[in-house]
Chains A and B, each alone.
Chain A
Amino acid sequence: MTSFIAPALSYSLLAPILIVLGGAVLGVIVEAFVSRAHRSTIQLSITLGTLVLSLAQVWRIRHASSLTAAMGSVAVDGPAILLQGSILIIAILGVFLIADHDHFTTLAASLPGSPEEREAQQSGVKLTEVYPLTLFAVAGMLLFPIATDLITLFVALEVLSLPLYLMAGLSRRRRLLSQEAALKYFLLGAFSSAFFLFGSAFLYGYSGTVSLAGIHDAVEASPGNQVFLLIGLAFLSVGLLFKVSAVPFHAWTPDVYQGAPTPVTAFMAAATKMAAFGAMLRIFYTSFANAYWDWRPLLTVIAIVTMLFGAVVAIAQRDVKRMLAYSSIAHAGFLITGVLALTKSGLDATIFYLFAYGIATIGAFGIVTLVRDSSGEVTDLNRWAGLGKRSPFIATVFATLLLAFAGIPLTSGFIGKFTIFSAAYEGGNKAVVVVGVLSSAIAAFFYIRVIVLMFFTDPVEDGTSVVIPSILTRATVIISFAITIFLGVLPTPLLNFIHSTATFIR
């Protein structure tokens, strides 16, 4: 009879995740026991406190490097810490936006248009479930890029995805659209999770282990059935590419970005990408680096198609959230070029790009939450005309963030593009660089069109205006603007930090 051996956990290294999970559980308890009137303040403080505490823990362990934090299922190393830190920063900014209750339905369970819903709205209650949900999602995101075995990866993937499916359906206005988005996201997400799991099974069949290091050894020794490796790799990639919304697994992105409450979109767009790319980097760099001949050609094609598709289709968009969604698809393509490089500079560049892009994205969506008329947010681009005249500051910030997306010098986006393309070129992928540069040119077109609309088109008198932002929303927008410019002018500290920290351990 085997005796039970208690797992040895390094609580100190796992603290960031554990704190967030603890905060989430606490949030659930608050939801159950505290009266409605006080919930929203308490929940907000718990959530922010948790995230800040967790961020402090990440900072504390920033030089740590360990494979044994949780019985070999997670690796705490440079990239892990950088990504966790970035995700937490994005989450804090995201919660600032989520704190604006005007975007959320009061009673998520009520039927759209039902008396129940009307009653809830009139009672003025605020939806607070979103806070613990956010924390659960953050916990999953923190785990996803550090997991080193396929089972933990899958658990993390589910933990991060399930709350997001729910959060996508919480919009106050256009609730049917929001619920449709949630359902679509859920169904497609479930599919992709199944693919991921299926791929894991094949990889287990191939190598006899679920740990990434074990798979790496198996790939090196190259035993038995290569078909299992290929199928496993392909299915696993489908799961990951779905999360980063790469073509052809992007179909959910525009609908979900549009339907979800904008603060959720902001959080999701920035943080999910980080978590998923973090996991992707780890998997491809530590497990399949030696099998690159098997996946690089296909991933190259996906990168090229994703960049071009995102950029071209974005041109046709008339809705600012959909436009940003397609732009995020194009950016996923740019990021894949960094993964493809398979070098240290590729890793550095991808992490820098993720951070720069995440910050700019959350700022951009933050501004989208501010442009409203009497019935809520205005996302129709035509009604953004003349915004530069009515609120020059907001329009200027939005223009700057768009220029950062377009990769104009003196913004973080330019340094990001430069580092990631030079890494791709170094990795020998010249074609990808040329396509990347061309799709940047295409993408510049629709970013600039928005700038034209805001500054060079006369305003339509239809009551669209920029609401006075709450302090928290204002903080998000200003922080994101400041970081975007700062990283464009003085990227050295962050680049050096990433360069000295980011090394995968296996």
Chain B
Amino acid sequence: MNNAWLTSLGLLPLLGALLVSVLPEKNILLIKRVAFGTTLVVAAVAIAMATRFQRDNVNLQFVETHQWIPSLGINYAVGVDGIALVLILLSVLLAPVVVLAGWNEATGGRWGVKTFYILMLVLETMMIGVFASTDVFLFYVFFEAMLIPVYFLIGGYGSGARSAAAVKFLLYSLFGGLLMLASIIALYVLSGDQGGHTFDINALSHLHMSSTTENMLFLGFFIAFAIKAPVWPFHTWLPDAAEAATPGTSVLLLGVLDKVGTFGMIRYCLTLFPHATKTFTPVILVLAVISIIYGAFLAIGQKDFKRLIAFTSISHFGFITMGIFAMTSQGQSGATLYMFNHGFSTAALFLVAGWMSSRRGSSKITDFGGLQRVTPVMAWVFFFAGMSSLALPGLSSFVSEFLVLVGTYTRYPVAAVIGAFGIVLAALYILIPVQRSLHGPVTEGNENLPDLNVREKVAIAPVVAVILFLGFYPSPLLQVINPGAAHSIAQAGFSDPISSIDKAGK
């Protein structure tokens, strides 16, 4: 059965990019409007698609398969389960926010405004593709090709040591990607030995392999995803990239692209290598807990807003990884919900931080002070975003963090308990900068900062609304996520511990 929803959704931004490319270079306003319009249309189509998603169906939906390179058994195959759908929604909802919020981001870049929006829209296509592909080869193509627009977005439009940061980002990702490629080649050869070359994820999940092979292949995939996510000790590229990139790019980088790593762990590591997953779970949980604590500690010590947010994200990715490898359905649902929520709370933080630094001309925390009096709206939004990041009850992150911790506790109590300290540290890394920059007397240089304008308010409003709404009523998303999450746990051969606490959030 072929169903053109996903393909059309993926092609729309590309069409927008084509349209932008024929517009006159001078007419910047038109370019921006077309780009923004495209992202809005994509978001609308994605929401329409989501309403047709059958929640209790654990199979892939909106499936479409065409032969691509038949001689190598490669198909163009797309389809989504609840987890992938949520991540696609995250990408397409953040895209218009990013375009609107960063209306003037492209000026001052190395190239024109036009190139910026072409890159952005191409990136959106890749983001949809990477979550939608169900053919491992196709996934890899998107996974690698996605790096190119991001690389140019960071290196061409960022600030500071932008080209060094872009190169670091690209090399880390390429290195991981190539390790994954070795694993993919092995899968391809194994599938050839066992009934015909294929890259279909379902067919590959039934491959027989020795446990050594499985462990090696698992590592190839996992390291690629751990670099992407990033999990300690593969994280060092992220703070540099986040600091150098424009706020909008950073939102997409941390909010969406890094999720490819955690998504890949669920979709590929768990499904393809269930035994190796079991073997490596303890090690990965240790890495996840280290990420939580290490990211939080380093966040506390940061002097720069953007780096601070990057380190908080490393801590949050620790939570997500922990939730995934807890191998319980709550952990898994929580991790997926966490990915979505983290996308929005990071978006809020980064966008406000971006506005603050573009007004002040600096993103150093110590350069700010008393913003509450000068720019009350901006200050409140920042405060709100911070609260969302530290998972204040009533905001969306709380639900997911709670689910992750509960899900982890039922199987790995020690990891959950240590991880929970991350929450305490989160209060520190958010409240200290909030206090320094927002409260107290207005410090020199901040007296005349303008508050948010209408465009910025419109851009941030939906983000705030989503965070609040999902904080009180997460079940629409959880209903989509739960069956997929339970399915992926079952597929990996795990079942929830019997003494599990009553399902939170259901």
Instruction: Please list the residues of chain A having a beta carbon within 8 angstroms of any beta carbon in chain B.
Output: 389, 403, 406, 408-410, 414-415, 417-419, 421-422, 425-426, 430, 433-434, 437-438, 440-441, 444-445, 448-449, 452, 455-457, 490-492, 495-496, 499
A219 to chain B, nearest CB (A): 28
Q: Across chains A and B, which 3 residue pairs bring their CB atoms closest together, nearest first?
A: A456-B163, A409-B141, A495-B71
Specify which of A417, A426, A441 is in contact with B189 (CB 8 Å cutoff).
A426
Q: A492 to chain B: which residues have CB within 8 Å?
A: 68-71
Specify which of B110, B178, B186 is in contact with A425 (CB 8 Å cutoff).
B186
Smallest CB-CB separation from A345: which chain B residue? B192
With contacts A409-B140, A410-B141, A425-B189 taken as known, whether A438 is within 8 angstroms of B178 at the C-beta atoms is yes
B172 to chain A, nearest CB (A): 10
Q: Is B156 an interface residue (CB 8 A)?
A: yes
Q: Are A434 and B182 touching (Cβ within 8 A)?
A: yes
Specify which of B144, B155, B181, B185 is in contact with A452 (CB 8 Å cutoff).
B155
Instruction: Please list the residues of chain B having a beta carbon within 8 angstroms of any beta carbon in chain A.
Output: 68-72, 110, 140-141, 144-145, 147-148, 152, 155-156, 162-163, 166-167, 170-171, 174-175, 178-179, 181-182, 185-186, 188-189, 192
The dominant DSSP class at the A interface is helix
Smallest CB-CB separation from A497: which chain B residue? B71
In the bound complex, what is the Cα–Cα distance between A265 and B46 (angstroms)? 52
Q: Are A421 and B170 touching (Cβ within 8 A)?
A: no
Q: Are B182 and A437 touching (Cβ within 8 A)?
A: yes
User: Known pairs A495-B69, A496-B71. 20 more at Cβ < 8 A?
Assistant: A389-B110, A409-B140, A409-B141, A409-B145, A410-B145, A419-B72, A421-B182, A422-B188, A425-B189, A434-B182, A441-B171, A441-B175, A444-B170, A444-B171, A449-B167, A452-B166, A455-B110, A456-B110, A456-B155, A456-B156
Q: Are A448 and B182 touching (Cβ within 8 A)?
A: no
Q: B179 to chain A: which residues have CB within 8 Å?
A: 437
B116 to chain A, nearest CB (A): 14
In the bound complex, what is the Cα–Cα distance between A414 and B137 (angstroms)? 11
Q: A452 to chain B: which residues have CB within 8 Å?
A: 155, 163, 166-167
The dominant DSSP class at the B interface is helix
A428 to chain B, nearest CB (A): 10
Q: Are B70 and A425 touching (Cβ within 8 A)?
A: no
Q: Are A444 and B181 touching (Cβ within 8 A)?
A: no
With contacts A409-B145, A410-B145, A495-B71 taken as known, whether A437 is within 8 angstroms of B181 at the C-beta atoms is yes
In the bound complex, what is the Cα–Cα distance between A273 and B52 (angstroms)? 55
Q: A430 to chain B: which residues have CB within 8 Å?
A: 186
A455 to chain B, nearest CB (A): 7
In the bound complex, what is the Cα–Cα distance between A421 and B110 (angstroms)? 38
Q: Are A448 and B155 touching (Cβ within 8 A)?
A: no
A-B contact pairs, 6 of them (CB 8 A): A421-B181, A422-B189, A437-B179, A437-B181, A440-B178, A492-B71
Q: B68 to chain A: which residues have CB within 8 Å?
A: 492
With contacts A409-B140, A440-B178 taken as known, whether A495 is within 8 angstroms of B171 at the C-beta atoms is no
In the bound complex, what is the Cα–Cα distance between A421 and B170 (angstroms)? 22
Q: B186 to chain A: which residues have CB within 8 Å?
A: 425, 430, 433
Q: Are A457 and B163 touching (Cβ within 8 A)?
A: yes
A436 to chain B, nearest CB (A): 8
Q: A434 to chain B: which residues have CB within 8 Å?
A: 182
With most chain B CB atoms within 10 A of its CB, the pick from A444, A457, A499 is A444
Q: Are B148 and A403 touching (Cβ within 8 A)?
A: yes
With contacts A456-B156, A456-B163, A495-B72 taken as known, whether A433 is within 8 angstroms of B145 at the C-beta atoms is no
